[in-house]
Chains A and B, each alone.
Chain A
Amino acid sequence: MQGKGLLTGLSVTIRHFFGKKVTVQYPEEKLPMSETFRGGKLVLDQKKCIGCRLCSMACPNEALDLTVETDENKKRHMKKYIHKSGRCLYCGFCVEACPTKAVTWDKNYAIACYTRTDLTYDAVKSDGRNETHE
């Protein structure tokens, strides 16, 4: 009969009207990020990094700008690890490529910023998470 579907539809919506709500009230509640989450800012553990540049080579969009320094013992270490997050695809290839797992995501997804220059930051200066490049 015509009209039956309309009533079924109305019954669906009224059920939801009284039903449980599914939204997360963001600033108070936050979703947990998964182990594998790719996002936020890159954090470089300078002690682990061997300056091999594999990460920047794996990057599809040239988002990593590295300055490697060789000290007197012929040991390379990272002087600057500029991440141009405006170019970043968040593919995580850099993290995967690193042989010593020196570079990781900080998983802080609230990374919106006001100016374009804030997008570029140096991951070496951390532990300084969330610090922008001056």
Chain B
Amino acid sequence: MHSGLLVMTADMLSNGIDSLIGNTLITQFIMVILEIVAIFAVISVAVIIQVYMERRVCGFIQDRLGPNRVGPFGILQTVADMIKLMSKEDIIPAKAERVLWGITPMLLFIPAALVYAVFPFDDGAIFTDLNIGIFFVLAVMSQSVLMFLIGGFASENKYSFIGGMRAVAQMLSSEIPMAFSIMAVVMVTGSLKMSTIVAAQSGTWFVFIQPLAFIIFIISMTMETNRTPFDLVEGESEIIAGPFTEYSGMRWALFFLAEYTNLLTAAVLTTTLFLGGWQGPVLPGIVWFIIKVFLMIFVFMWIRWTFPRTRIDQMMGFSWKILLPLALFNIIATGIGVYIYNWMY
């Protein structure tokens, strides 16, 4: 039944290992390890591509060319930056809470990567198809706020501190409208399972059925990923870099990595929930999936390089007073719609 390219490859691989070792348990174990490695590989490659893309998009929008020196078309620029960051001196502020301060960047990466376990990349290509998939995503994603807070506090820097406080305020206000906008999708599908949500969109994408939810979701996702117009947590003209102010070198690179992983998460989520996931004609599912994800990433970048930043009170007022009521209204409307639909058919 599953015909996706990824699944076929995985099956082939597992059959191969199976015939080599002949023990199903060990084969499964190896496959799990391979899958974990695959997730990290996907994330790292995606981040490198995104960073390059962000610079190029930014450059093009600003009438510049962006990086075009290192390697052909500058594609190795990110690699060069990585090398630079890795070779930097590791500076720990004298007054920082060393342990907390040190583990924050690593901890931040965990929730960012964890959500990939439940994303359907292709038909059947999902690591664990939890029956509470979307709920799991929400729960895990909201963990990252803790790291921001810890990092902000542990740095013993007032800018970081303000940034940490802002992170809490912002994530709280973004997560609730986001959850409610997802709720509408869940109501239509009748399932929290990611694969079911995607399957339900084989006819019409949810972006057409739930346009309001889509817009609310995009907006709250920009808040969630700390990107302009809601990049208050690290608003560099105000609080320098927020919680990351004191981080440099490799530690800062981890923050960077988490940030772009989150952006990827945002794009993947939007694709899964509203743009029909891996579904599309002719091309294999994984290709459609990648196209859609990068289209969404482009939209997020386009927004970032166009808009100014909001102020913290405006952002909170906007999300509590406008987004949340809208999302609630959307739920009620969806409820009525679903009821009428069921009643008619």
Since A10-B306, A16-B61, A25-B65 are in contact, a sample of 4 more A-B pairs with Cβ atoms closer than 8 Å, ordered by chain A residue number, is: A13-B61, A14-B302, A16-B60, A20-B63
Closest CB in chain B relative to A26 CB, distance in Å: 11
- A21 interface hit (Cβ, 8 Å): yes
Are B60 and A21 interface neighbours, CB within 8 A? yes
Closest CB in chain B relative to A2 CB, distance in Å: 10
Q: State which of A6, A9, A14, A23 has its C-beta within 8 Å of the C-beta of B63.
A: A23
Q: State which of B62, B64, B65, B307 has its C-beta within 8 Å of the C-beta of A9.
A: B307
**Which B residue's beta carbon lies closest to that of A27?**
B69
- A114 interface hit (Cβ, 8 Å): no
A6-B307, A9-B306, A9-B307 are known contacts. Are A16 and B65 too (CB-CB below 8 A)?
A: no
Q: Give the dominant DSSP class at A's interface.
A: helix
Closest CB in chain A relative to B298 CB, distance in Å: 9
Closest 9 CB pairs of A and B: A13-B306, A22-B63, A13-B61, A17-B60, A9-B306, A23-B64, A17-B61, A10-B306, A21-B63
B307 partner residues in chain A, CB cutoff 8 A: 6, 9
- A32 interface hit (Cβ, 8 Å): no
**Which B residue's beta carbon lies closest to that of A15?**
B61
Are B63 and A13 interface neighbours, CB within 8 A? no
B63 partner residues in chain A, CB cutoff 8 A: 16, 19-23
Sampled A-B contacts (29; CB under 8 Å): A6-B306, A6-B307, A9-B306, A9-B307, A10-B302, A10-B303, A10-B306, A12-B306, A13-B302, A13-B305, A13-B306, A14-B302, A16-B60, A16-B61, A16-B62, A16-B63, A17-B57, A17-B60, A17-B61, A18-B60, A19-B63, A20-B63, A21-B63, A21-B64, A21-B65, A22-B64, A23-B65, A25-B65, A25-B68
Closest CB in chain B relative to A126 CB, distance in Å: 34
Closest CB in chain B relative to A46 CB, distance in Å: 42
Closest CB in chain B relative to A118 CB, distance in Å: 26
Point out which of B62, B68, B303, B306 has the most chain A C-beta atoms below 10 A from its C-beta: B306
Q: Give the dominant DSSP class at B's interface.
A: loop
Closest CB in chain B relative to A40 CB, distance in Å: 26
**Which B residue's beta carbon lies closest to that of A11?**
B306
Within 8 A of A (CB), among B142-175: none
Complex CA–CA separation, A17 to B56 (angstroms):
10
Complex CA–CA separation, A8 to B64 (angstroms):
21
Within 8 A of A (CB), among B44-67: 57, 60-65
**Which B residue's beta carbon lies closest to that of A10?**
B306
Within 8 A of B (CB), among A1-54: 6, 9-10, 12-14, 16-23, 25
Closest CB in chain A relative to B105 CB, distance in Å: 32
B60 partner residues in chain A, CB cutoff 8 A: 16-18, 21
B305 partner residues in chain A, CB cutoff 8 A: 13
B68 partner residues in chain A, CB cutoff 8 A: 25
**Which B residue's beta carbon lies closest to that of A9?**
B306
Closest CB in chain A relative to B334 CB, distance in Å: 22
Complex CA–CA separation, A17 to B307 (angstroms):
15
A23 partner residues in chain B, CB cutoff 8 A: 63-65
B62 partner residues in chain A, CB cutoff 8 A: 16
Complex CA–CA separation, A17 to B68 (angstroms):
16
Closest CB in chain A relative to B247 CB, distance in Å: 30
B57 partner residues in chain A, CB cutoff 8 A: 17
B61 partner residues in chain A, CB cutoff 8 A: 13-14, 16-17
Complex CA–CA separation, A23 to B68 (angstroms):
12
Complex CA–CA separation, A99 to B302 (angstroms):
58
Complex CA–CA separation, A94 to B306 (angstroms):
47
Complex CA–CA separation, A56 to B65 (angstroms):
45
Closest CB in chain B relative to A7 CB, distance in Å: 10
Point out which of B57, B63, B302 has the most chain A C-beta atoms below 10 A from its C-beta: B63
**Which A residue's beta carbon lies closest to that of B60?**
A17
Closest CB in chain A relative to B66 CB, distance in Å: 9
Complex CA–CA separation, A40 to B68 (angstroms):
28
Closest CB in chain B relative to A27 CB, distance in Å: 10
Closest CB in chain A relative to B58 CB, distance in Å: 10
A14 partner residues in chain B, CB cutoff 8 A: 61, 302
**Which A residue's beta carbon lies closest to that of B229?**
A6
Complex CA–CA separation, A29 to B186 (angstroms):
56
Point out which of A6, A9, A17, A22 has the most chain B C-beta atoms below 10 A from its C-beta: A17
Complex CA–CA separation, A10 to B307 (angstroms):
8
A9 partner residues in chain B, CB cutoff 8 A: 306-307
B303 partner residues in chain A, CB cutoff 8 A: 10
